[in-house]
Structure 1
Amino acid sequence: MTTTERTTGTTLRDIPGDAGPPIIGYTLQFAGGKLTADRTRYDKYGPVSWSRAFGRTWISAQGPEAAGAVLSNRDHAFDSGPGWSFLIGPFFRRGLMLLDGPEHHRHRRIMQEAFTAQRLAGYLEPLNETLAAGIAAWPRTGSLAFYPAIKQVTLDVATRTFMGAQADHEADRLNRAFVDCVQAATAPIRLPIPGLRWHKGLVGRRLLENYLRPQLAEKRAGDGNDLFSALCHARSDEGEAFSDDDVVNHMIFLLMAAHDTSTITLTSMAYYLARNPEWQERCREESFALGTEHVAYDDLDRLVALDLVMKESMRLVVPVPGVIRRANKDTELLGYRVPANTMVTAQLWTVHHLEEFWPDPERFDPGRFSEERREDKVHRNAFMPFGHGVHKCIGMYFGGMEVKAAMHQLLQRYRISVPAGYEMPVDWTSLPRPRDGLPITLHRL
């Protein structure tokens, strides 16, 4: 990559890096998630480096300055849509994350009507009921593969809260469709060959569309309190509304984002609470102190210890470990030249694991986020589990509400444990998940 002169006359530096193995570059490592939770390139090249994968040049932005600059996008040089579309476009097309500029602003403004405080409070009752039914089906005592169990519960929550429907015989097919769509994002062979990841993702997308589209007329005619109805009826201040295609596209993306990220957060929280019984007991005492099996909306802020554990778990296992952008013009990043049309990844895992911002970064220590310490404030971009800038997660408050409500119920029913010395093996392909399903032991209280 050659040095160039900007129109201002400022010389920009070459980006350090390497292409990797001939022809394939780092495609297999990228597809297998081996570049996600890894700071090798940061240690070797610094916060900005380049590599080759999928036949393209990729620039990696690691650390709070580099990743924050990409996501804040002050020069409007980094587009989200063309970046994410390369990975997930066929499966989550025109979801909010895949829009930019005025169109993104318009869609986000309309969609915000579905995530007001009043709407969130309305979602909590059916959410609590669905959580209770799901958790009640678990064994009273004994072993449980936590990840698949909680993933089914969060999908049931999303189905009821977002669509006003009870989980039915379609639940397993929907869950599989979402998994296939997400995992197709990093498929090394990006062709519709039956049996391979890319083809499975396309089939999953069709199933989701065929499930949602027939329900549009009823949702538009009704007055339901679910998110599907809210999107059908949402209007901007100027009276703008979503088309049928808009509603379907946003529902598919939100259903995926809501239940996948909540599943990941709940799984990592269960793991760390099982390994750290003192924090588990502290959170349990808070929940019992509320005196209610189902948390109320106004009580969420009283679960202080649970909030600390949630944040620390999201720091250690960030639900979306990398964010994709594409440069729409020649620009710069920390003084390095970035050519137009280059793919850029903001590596959020690295941001959360640098010892210069997080002392002893691999240690589970929820106290980092306490008012006395606030390590997350040592740098404005030190903690970004929901992203940053105009594309910051629109459902972050819904997600936090769901996670706290679920853990509040779980901790009042069970004490959870894992064997001494157990370490959860994380598969970072697409989104993080435990390779072994996270086997925990339940002890009924």
Structure 2
Amino acid sequence: MRIPGPEHRTDGGLGAVAAAGGLHRYQLQLHDTYGPVVRFQLPGAETAVSVADPVLLEATAHLDERPAALFAFLDPLCEAGNLQVLPAGEHAPWRRLLLSVFAGRPAHERHFARFTRLAQDLADRWAGAADGEPVELQKELTALSLRLICGFAFDGAGDGTAAGAEVDAERVAAAFEDVLTEYLGRLYQVPRDDPRAAERAEESLAYLRATVDRVVAAHAGAAGRTGRSDLIGALVEAGESPARIRDTVMVTLLAAHHTTGVAVSWTLHLLGGHPGAADRVAAELDEVLGDRTAPDYADLRRLPYLDMVLKESMRLFPPGPYGARETTEDLTLGPYEIPAGTTVFYPFWAVHLNPEYWPDPARFDPERFAPGETAARPRLAYVPFGIGPRSCEGAALATVEAQLVLAVLLKRLRFGPAPGHEVTPVERFVLWARDGIRMTVRARAASV
């Protein structure tokens, strides 16, 4: 059976993507028009098959290859081969190494006190601002997320004394934006308005590499104080080359500083528009924490409603709105036959808004993630961190960071929409807000 989809276009699909306002919105339109499986043209892949049904996704969950052309924009960050498209045989041990660092509770606990201090510093600053003054969440929370992951990557001691504390988080974030904007623009053939964009991207890339080299060197000077709870220590212990260590740190900083910051930003945005849910989060924090201003690691498991709110936020605004794999052999997908070498596209946002599994899908409702509701849905109906052997290795760490930051901020502060500010999601490597997320901030009354 032929897979439905739009007519072939001579521009490779660029015009359709642009007209929709980005690839993330184009996917919603395609699946709304053609159903759960769609054939379409994708820049970097002449033909792709997009799957928005979680049951059908199960047939693709084993795929362990990524289409190289779609991830070529990351080539400049990597000197030892693009980490996002490593062959399956090389990728599997590298993934196990990363999981040993990012997914382990001992590592999370070792860094938790420093994470807490950084989150409290931001809460202190916002609490000290004029009552009701708007703040720009994405910028501030992305910088905070970068500081969190820098410490985790560079500071094996967990005390904030290693090189991670020396990183200029704002400059690193800006440098990543320069590089990604330039290379994503090349992929999607975006017209250049800035004649210095390419030159600035190269300067930014050189700065990023020099920064990583500096902290790796400082890390080497701290021998004996590191371990497998810190990324560089684990990579050194595994015998990875200096180039692979640098590449891994670069890609980790890129992924982590975007995703956690925007996830927390979207969550606060949604709570600002749903005061009943915000009240319930505040009440849960007051009950669990009492007069403490921050949770300890064990407290996170005692905040189920906060966890439900975060999950519902990432359903509505998944930080990474899509992914892709490549078939290495013929694949049966429901009534369709997918030949080897096909790009299988994962439209995570469309999956999360599939009305068959999410009634009234655009409505914010954290109760969707009550245990009974979750058990009644297919496993892949909710995939904010991807699918299968190429899913995000940092998912557990990102969740801990997001829960902690939300708990610290919402225990002390109340967020509301900034008057006259419109929040519009756009595709910018992650699901970003085009003009930022500006919100008013007010101190909460002491609870106990």
- Give the TM-score normalised by structure 1: 0.85
| Equivalent residue, structure 2, for 1:34 | 22
Cα gap change, 1:23/1:96 in structure 2, threshold over 3 Å: closer, same or farther? closer
2: CA distance between counterparts of 1:132 and 1:181?
Answer: 31
2:135 corresponds to: 144
Residues 59 and 345 of structure 1 are in contact (CA less than 8 Å); yes or no, is this contact kept in structure 2? yes
| Residue from 133, 136, 149 that aligns with 2:121 | 133
The alpha-carbon distance between structure 1 residues 240 and 160, as it changes in their structure 2 partners (threshold 3 A), is closer
Return structure 1 stretches of 4+ with deviation > 6 angstroms.
Answer: 190-194, 196-199, 224-229
2:93 maps to: 106
Contact 2:100 2:228 in 1 (8 A): no
Which region of structure 1 is more displaced relative to structure 2, 210-219 or 186-195?
Answer: 186-195
Secondary structure, counterpart of 2:135 in structure 1? strand
8 Å Cα contact 2:286/2:411 also seen in 1? yes
Q: CA deviation at 1:57?
A: 2.2
Q: Answer yes or no: is the 8 Å Cα contact 1:288–1:412 preserved in 2.
A: yes
Check the 8 A contact 2:5/2:34 in 1, yes or no: yes
The code of the aligned residue for 2:139 comes to: P
How many correspondences in the alignment?
Answer: 426
Residue 424 of structure 1 is matched in structure 2 by 423
**CA offset digits 1:226-281 (Å, max 9, x no partner):** 79983333279xx7432212211111111111111111110110011101111112
The 3-state SS of whatever aligns with 2:346 is strand
Deviation for aligned residue 1:412: 2.1
Paired letter, 2:310: M
Decide whether aligned partners of structure 1 residues 84 and 300 sit closer, same or farther in structure 2, where only a CA change above 3 A counts: farther
Structure 2 residue 168 is matched with structure 1 residue 162: no
Residues in 1 aligned to 2:259 and 2:171: alpha-carbon distance in whole angstroms: 19
Residues 81 and 199 (structure 1 numbering): CA distance in 2 closer, same or farther, change over 3 Å? farther
Q: Which residue of 2 aligns with 1:8?
A: none
C-alpha RMSD of matched pairs (Å) = 3.1
- The CA distance in 2 between the partners of 1:269 and 1:202, in whole Å, is 34
Residue 69 of structure 1 corresponds to 59
Change (3 A) 1:40 1:387: same
2:427 aligned partner, one-letter code:
W
In the other structure, the counterpart of 2:3 is 15
Paired residue secondary structure (1:137)? helix
Distance 2:227 2:202 in 1: 25
Question: What's the counterpart of residue 302 of structure 2?
Answer: 302
* Residue 378 of structure 2 is aligned to residue 389 of structure 1: no
The letter of the residue matching 2:137 is: F
- Bigger mean CA offset, 406-415 vs 175-184: 175-184
Specify whether residues 337 and 24 from structure 1 end up closer, same or farther in structure 2 by C-alpha distance, changes over 3 A only.
same
Change (3 A) 1:194 1:107: farther
- What secondary structure, in the 3-state scheme, does the structure 1 residue paired with 2:101 have? helix
* SS of match in other structure, 2:414: strand
Aligned-partner Cα distance in 2 for 1:223–1:262: 30
Who is 2:169 aligned against?
A: 171
Asked if structure 2 preserves the Cα contact closer than 8 Å seen for 1:161 and 1:226, the reply is: no
Q: For each residue in 1:129-159, what CA deviation from the matched residue of structure 2 results, as whole angstroms up to 9, or x when unmatched?
A: 1122233223242111221122222222222
AA partner of residue 43 (structure 1): D
Structure with the largest fraction of helix: 2
Match of 1:50 in 2: 39
Instruction: Decide whether the 8 Å contact of 2:51 with 2:347 is kept in 1.
Output: yes
State the alpha-carbon separation in 2 of the partners of residues 84 and 227 from structure 1: 35
- Give how far 1:318 is off: 0.7
Residues 414/191 of structure 1: CA separation in 2 closer, same or farther (3 Å cut) = closer
CA deviation after TM superposition for structure 1 residue 332, in Å: 4.0
Q: CA separation in 2, counterparts of 1:365 and 1:212?
A: 41
Q: 1:306 to 1:186 in 2, by over 3 A?
A: farther
Q: Distance in 2 between matches of 1:53 and 1:318?
A: 21
Q: 1:27 & 1:196 partners in 2: Cα distance?
A: 26
* Whole-Å separation in 2 of the counterparts to 1:95 and 1:412: 41
Which residue in the other structure is 1:323 paired with?
A: 323
CA contact (8 A) 2:309 2:366 kept: yes
The answer to whether the 8 A contact 2:149-2:257 is kept is yes
CA distance in 2, matches of 1:331, 1:256: 33
Give the whole-Å Cα distance in 2 for the aligned partners of 1:130 and 1:226: 21
2 CA distance for matches of 1:49 and 1:121?
A: 44
Unmatched 5+ stretches in structure 1: 1-12
The answer to whether 1:59 aligns with 2:49 is yes
- Determine if contact 1:69/1:333 at 8 Å carries over to the other structure: yes
SS in 2 for 1:441: strand
On the 8 A contact 1:61/1:347 being kept in 2, the answer is: yes
Q: Measured at CA, do residues 251 and 59 of structure 1 come closer, stay the same or move farther in structure 2, by a change above 3 Å?
A: same
- Contact 1:219/1:228 (8 A) holds in 2: no
CA deviations 1:274-319 (Å, max 9, x no partner) are 0111111211122223132222111111111110000000000011
Show structure 2 runs of 5+ residues with no match: 156-162
Give the letter for the 2:122 counterpart. Answer: G
How far apart are residue 339 of structure 1 and its match? 3.7
Between 289-298 and 356-365, the greater mean CA deviation after superposition:
289-298
Residue aligning to 2:338: 338
Q: CA deviation at 1:197?
A: 6.5
How much identity, in percent, do the aligned residues show?
26
Q: Secondary structure at the match of 1:234?
A: helix
Whether the 8 Å contact between 1:127 and 1:161 is mirrored in structure 2 is no
Residue 378 of structure 1 corresponds to 377
Corresponding residue to 1:243 among 241, 248, 254 = 241
CA distance in 1, matches of 2:262, 2:320: 9
Q: In the alignment, what sits opposite 2:399?
A: 400
Which residue type is aligned with residue 39 of structure 2?
W
1:62–1:350 contact (8 Å) kept in structure 2? yes
The letter for the 2-side match of 1:387 is: G
Residue 14 of structure 1 aligns to a residue whose secondary structure is coil
* TM-score, normalization by structure 2: 0.85
CA distance in 2, matches of 1:346, 1:15: 16
| Corresponding residue SS for 1:189 | coil
C-alpha distance after superposition, 1:81-107 (max 9, x if no partner): 626533433335746543232211111
Q: What SS class does the counterpart of residue 49 from structure 2 fall into?
A: strand
